[in-house]
Amino acid sequence: MSRIVIVSNRTPGKGPAAGGLAVALRKVLSRHEGFWFGWSGKLTETPDSKPRMEDVDGLKVAQIDLSPQDHHAYYAGFSNSILWPSFHLRLDLATIESYWYEGYRRVNAQFAKALKPLLRPDDVIWVHDYHLIPLASELRALGAKNRIGFYLHIPFPTADALYAIPHHGELMRDLSRYDLIGFQANRDVAAFTDFAEHQAPSTFGISNTEAVDFSDTEVAAFPIGSDPEAFARLATSPAAKKMIHRMHRALGEQELVLGVDRLDYSKGLPQRVEAYEKLLANNQRFRRKVHLLQVAPPSRDTIKEYQETSDTLDAICGRVMGRFAEPDWAPLTYVKRTYGQPSLAGLYRLARVALVTPLRDGMNLVAHEYVGAQDPENPGVLILSRFAGAAEIFPDALLVNPFDTDETAEALRVALDMPLEERKTRWQALNRAATAHNVDDWALAFLERLSPGIAEAGGGATDVIYMASVA
């Protein structure tokens, strides 16, 4: 039976999984023979090129260390200062240092060199995310003939943004070495297809004349989801109830408006707080009646643009506090730390409104998790950016343009005034959609397309406790 080999930058650690990727794929490997391969999280001046195989809570995980210089160029540099901003259409926030690309390729080559000796000819390899676009090329150069699939967790850029990325020609050629490329949304498939079909031969490709041939690569949307049933259970767990109790004491009669995001400029946090400010400015009746809680764990904080986003958010939250707070009332709480998943599920359950308003996002699992955690008899309202992949799944949310803070402020008013019957009708539709796009089916659909028959070949399902993510 074919094994499944999952490759990603981060590998799952012991204890509860923190990221959406780890959560989803842990399940796959609990059901199929195989292992997970990636970076150990350790930096050392002289990394061993041979991977260490470890047992992590019943999962086989092979890991390599990286040197600090390579890791910086590959992760903070090319991946997160060039690819991340460009793929999120924030070219103004991209920083280009040419040596980062060499580090990015070097790390991908190290991954391939360490992984290749572990592979059997019929292993099916599933590579994740923008850190590892060149991995199939590097593996093929070492002789790997396996089926290799690639899944992009972030949006695919428009052609203009792609042209702005140094070495985009090589990267597209690297993508053509995969048998299957999966995207989050139809929007991404359309952007990719548009690029592949209209690539300009004179400026594209290594020889400058030759367009990349994608005829051997299948491309499709596989929208990722969560596990709404597990979220429903988590939201009534003792830890969630404890959080709800704690919040009830603090909030009294006030309605909770909730945001939960990594502190990332793509999440539209300053615009969100500004929309809330407009709600309070335009509707005096909501003062003392609502409270915004923004949970924003810091992320990639060695990168200047992330530090600046954090400073901007500090300033805007301070401004709103200064404008509306009274000695006995605060309009908002802004928490820069991570919460345990059951506590988050409790917050989701309590929140009358979830503000999920990224400026651009691959999917956004917080939207899925919020839906899963609602009380069917008294559900809250999801306000969702139309630029999140989740907008294709959740047309029954209140869809907003996050750049238009007047529109988001009005959506907040509508959400807070929404009668119970409409909340229920909308939530039922959202919950059906979240269930139809659950994470198990997502993984099986991708693997089945990559290697037909592999899904049925898996053994009996082992129950893995699903934990939430702040992706």
- Active-site amino acid positions: 153, 361
Question: Can you give the length of the chain in residues?
Answer: 471
Least spacing, CB of residue 191 vs ligand F6P, in Å: 17
Residue 154 or 171: the one with the smaller Cβ distance to ligand F6P is 154
Residue 94 or 471: the one with the smaller Cβ distance to ligand F6P is 471
Residue 83 or 258: the one with the smaller Cβ distance to ligand F6P is 83
Least spacing, CB of residue 75 vs ligand F6P, in Å: 7
Residue 299 or 333: the one with the smaller Cβ distance to ligand F6P is 299
User: CA triplet 338, 88, 470: central angle to 5 degrees?
Assistant: 15
Q: Measured between alpha carbons, how far is 279 from 393 in angstroms, rounded to an integer? A: 27
Q: Measured between alpha carbons, how far is 76 from 66 in angstroms, rounded to an integer? A: 13
Q: Which residue is nearest to ligand F6P (CB)?
A: 19
Q: Measured between alpha carbons, how far is 225 from 23 in angstroms, rounded to an integer? A: 11
Residue type, 152: L
Residue 212 or 303: the one with the smaller Cβ distance to ligand F6P is 303
Least spacing, CB of residue 364 vs ligand F6P, in Å: 9
> Pairing relation of β-strands 290-295 and 255-260?
parallel
Backbone dihedral angles phi then psi of residue 55, each to the nearest 5 degrees: -100, 115
Residue 9 or 217: the one with the smaller Cβ distance to ligand F6P is 9
Residue that has been written with the tokens 């989050």 in this structure: 184
Least spacing, CB of residue 295 vs ligand F6P, in Å: 15
Least spacing, CB of residue 439 vs ligand F6P, in Å: 13
Name the site residues for ligand F6P (rule: CB under 6 A): 10, 19-21, 129, 153-154, 299-300, 362, 471
**C-alpha closest to that of 217 among 252, 264, 188, 178:** 178
Residue 19 or 379: the one with the smaller Cβ distance to ligand F6P is 19
Q: Measured between alpha carbons, how far is 91 from 81 in angstroms, rounded to an integer? A: 10
**C-alpha closest to that of 218 among 199, 245, 239, 193:** 193
Structure tokens, 468? 């939430």
Starting at the edge strand found earlier in the chain, the sheet holding 255-260 runs 332-335, 290-295, 255-260, 353-356, 381-385, 398-400
Least spacing, CB of residue 19 vs ligand F6P, in Å: 3
Convert 8-21 to b/e letters by CB count within 10 Å (16 or more is b). Answer: bbbbbeeebbbbbb
Least spacing, CB of residue 396 vs ligand F6P, in Å: 24
Residue 338 or 435: the one with the smaller Cβ distance to ligand F6P is 338
**C-alpha closest to that of 459 among 27, 130, 19, 11:** 27
Residue 153 or 349: the one with the smaller Cβ distance to ligand F6P is 153
**C-alpha closest to that of 256 among 264, 246, 266:** 246
Please tell me the number of Cα atoms within 13 Å of 308 on its side-chain side. Answer: 6
46-51 contacts: CB < 8 A, separation 24 or more? 47/110, 49/110, 49/113, 49/114, 50/114, 51/114, 51/115, 51/118
Least spacing, CB of residue 370 vs ligand F6P, in Å: 17
| Three-class secondary structure of residue 39 per DSSP | strand
By the 8 A CB rule, do 125 and 147 touch? yes
- Collect all residues with Cβ–Cβ distance below 8 Å to 247 and sequence separation of at least 6: 256, 346, 347, 350
Least spacing, CB of residue 377 vs ligand F6P, in Å: 32
